[in-house]
Structure 1
Amino acid sequence: MAGKDVSTMKISPKVWKNGEFIDWNDAKIHVMSHVVNYGSSVFEGIRCYQTSKGSAVFRLTEHMQRLINSGKIYRMDSGYSRQQLCDATVELIGQSGLDHCYIRPIVFRGLDEASPAFGVNPFPNPIDTYIAVWQWGKYLGEEALEAGIDVCVSSWTRITSNAMPSMAKAGANYMNSQLIKMEALLGGFSEGIALDDRGMVSEGSGENIFLVNNGKLITPPLGASVLPGITRDSVIQIARELGIEIVETNIQRAALYLADEVFFTGTAAEITPIRAIDRIEIGEGRRGPVTKQLQDEFFKIIDATRPAPAGADWLTFVNKTDEAVAA
């Protein structure tokens, strides 16, 4: 259950910090930083893929906008524009020597060592912005995209939006996610599904969730303490283009067991089918046809072999020559 040792992973030799490139091993903070003690951070998870036309970041602009939105909710302005963050990411990947990677931008409250403040009040503390990249494989396992995974409904309730805003991708929110994930792993499952405070389906520990019933695609609304996922939005747009009816509605726990298909979406999880929930087989106990259809179209877009819905520009190429060829 231990995480993969970073020494066995390919990492970028550089990290972007507050407008400068520093060595990976120098990307360190003080133990008394506000973020360490009080969890004051917002972050993103983004993927760069090796496409048929060169390395490209998937929906970089949307991810950076969500980072800025999360910071706004927590009054944590990095001081960098969306375009500056996008440009820094592309430059960092270019320097990394990696043709595909996972990208972690993070904005947090640090420590002013000349005039330290150790209380809950965040305002006296400086705001730092970092971007790191490394190679990361399939989050839920190499076989999961086809074979599917077994999950459970968690005993832990998803955080409520008026206590910890679910529209923000904040580090502190993921303490709730860790409880959900640990319980699932210790129970022999790959992942957990959290219910909201009304007992309605919310999301996984780090993924949005979709059901398929009678050809319709069903997902909880954002009001169910759901993070507005970028992959969630991508799947909705792809499904709409394919003529699949989309229903955003509250979902009872029992409806999970009766669905024809269930799958997770997320930057790390991509589109991962769920074959059983609480050891109850979903549909035929394997990846369903709608899930596969959505996967196929999703990965074609990622591979730059088909355009995004409505001609949207979902790929930011690391090499501008590749971008020109793709266009």
Structure 2
Amino acid sequence: MTTRHPDHTATGSQRRPAPRMGLGTWAYDRGEFVHAAEPRLPLSTQALHYGTGTFEGIRAYRSDRGSLQLFRVREHYERMLRACRVLRITDIPTEVEDLIAITVELIGRNNHDADVYIRPLAHKLALLPDTPPGVSLAGVSDGLSITTFGFPSYGIAKEARCGLSTWRRPPRDSLPTQHKITGGYVTSALASDQARAAGYDDALLLDGSGHVAEATTANVFAVAAGRVLTPPGTSDILPGITRDTLITLCRESGTEVLERELSPSDVFTADEVFLSSTGNGVVPVVGLAGRVIGNGAVGEVTRRLADLYDAVTRHADGAHPEWRLPVNVPEADGTPAPPHRQPAGSKA
């Protein structure tokens, strides 16, 4: 993987501060703010044993005005709450605005002043009285934790070479693939491990019919004859929020998008291939299973979409203001700005 470290300056003469990297000092866990490094989950936690949890990856980006902006945070929490209904997780805050308020307060407590990655995790916790041991959703208590990480984003900062995994993407009738269910990520871990052992950066997984589904933690796009192709949201993929953002930006900029099945040959012969995820944004794929994709460099469509994505996430006055929620950041001397709490039910 080729990595570049550009001069990540803000618009004009304002320089972005050096990002605070790693896990934030504070976390939210089961109704209170606690030290993130202190272990609190018992070894008998049901989700630990049976994979009965759901999580999200949410980003806050430092804008061209110096403020942090949560990006599509409502859509992320709406998706998590849908997964909670599947897993019978009910004893957590179930209003999106309450979850946003907790998240904003946590960012303030951790004094984040640059790009942040937020990880909420809702899970089954412990057997309730009179519930027999074993795998269960009913009769099990629930928990919610949220952690934050300093995690900078540099636009296109890396190019990936992928393998074709022998592990298959689970079908929807075996696993609710449209949700981020913790137990389902064992397939991603196996495929990622296989790819890295073979010298690749990531892997593409096929579905049960032999069509390209997605990468280990990202959606897949191909570019052919100027059109952008991606597997349909009704297939065995996670319909990613970043995926939806890029499809919208494509269509608004006049680029045709077709949601259809992709064969491995479609990907091998594409002019460009790229991945999309909340964690890494747009990642160009320049090689697949030892073959060069296109001319082996970042393609024109990929670069343009990466620029559009960077603009919509970072520009305070950019397109789609409904996707961005400003958050107070620490003052220049390191004193935390007062946390902004959004009342439940209010609209920003």
Fold shared per TM-score above 0.5: yes
CA distance in 2, matches of 1:76, 1:263: 35
User: Structure 1 residue 204 and structure 2 residue 219: aligned?
Assistant: no
Runs of 4+ in 1 over 6 A off after TM superposition: 113-116
Which position in structure 2 is the counterpart of 1:313?
322
CA distance in 2, matches of 1:137, 1:312: 22
Which position in structure 2 is the counterpart of 1:107?
122
Which position in structure 2 is the counterpart of 1:85?
99
1:1-327 correspondence runs (5 A): 9-53=21-65, 54-77=67-90, 78-99=92-113, 100-111=115-126, 118-137=133-152, 145-304=156-315, 307-308=318-319, 311-319=320-328
SS in 2 for 1:198: coil
CA distance in 2, matches of 1:147, 1:120: 41
CA distance in 1, matches of 2:239, 2:158: 26
Which string of whole-angstrom CA distances, capped at 9 and with x for unpartnered residues, describes residues 160-218 of structure 1? Answer: 11100111111011011111111111110000000000000100010001000011010
CA distance in 1, matches of 2:252, 2:145: 36
Q: Which moved more, 1:19-28 or 1:49-58?
A: 19-28
Runs (5+) with no aligned partner, structure 2: 1-19, 330-336, 341-347
SS in 2 for 1:26: coil
Which string of whole-angstrom CA distances, capped at 9 and with x for unpartnered residues, describes residues 76-118 of structure 1? Answer: 2234211111111011101111122110001001125877853
CA distance in 2, matches of 1:165, 1:128: 20
SS in 1 for 2:156: helix
CA distance in 2, matches of 1:258, 1:146: 24
SS in 1 for 2:236: coil
Question: Given residue 127 of structure 1, which amino acid in structure 2 is its aligned partner?
Answer: D
- Identity over the aligned pairs, expressed in percent? 28
Q: Which has the larger helix fraction?
A: 1
Question: Given residue 52 of structure 2, which amino acid in structure 1 is its aligned partner?
Answer: S
* Residues 112 and 22 of structure 1: CA distance in aligned 2, closer, same or farther (over 3 Å): farther
* Residues 224 and 63 of structure 1: CA distance in aligned 2, closer, same or farther (over 3 Å): same
Q: CA deviation at 1:146?
A: 4.8
Paired residues of 1:300 and 1:306 also in contact (CA < 8 A): no
Q: CA deviation at 1:20?
A: 1.6
CA distance in 2, matches of 1:27, 1:90: 23
Question: Given residue 263 of structure 2, which amino acid in structure 1 is its aligned partner?
Answer: Q
CA distance in 2, matches of 1:188, 1:37: 31
Question: Given residue 120 of structure 2, which amino acid in structure 1 is its aligned partner?
Answer: P
Paired residues of 1:10 and 1:134 also in contact (CA < 8 A): yes
* Residues 150 and 227 of structure 1: CA distance in aligned 2, closer, same or farther (over 3 Å): same
TM-score by length of 1: 0.89
Q: CA deviation at 1:74?
A: 2.0
Paired residues of 1:200 and 1:224 also in contact (CA < 8 A): no
How many equivalent residue pairs?
311
Runs (5+) with no aligned partner, structure 1: 1-7
Which position in structure 2 is the counterpart of 1:5?
none
SS in 2 for 1:275: strand
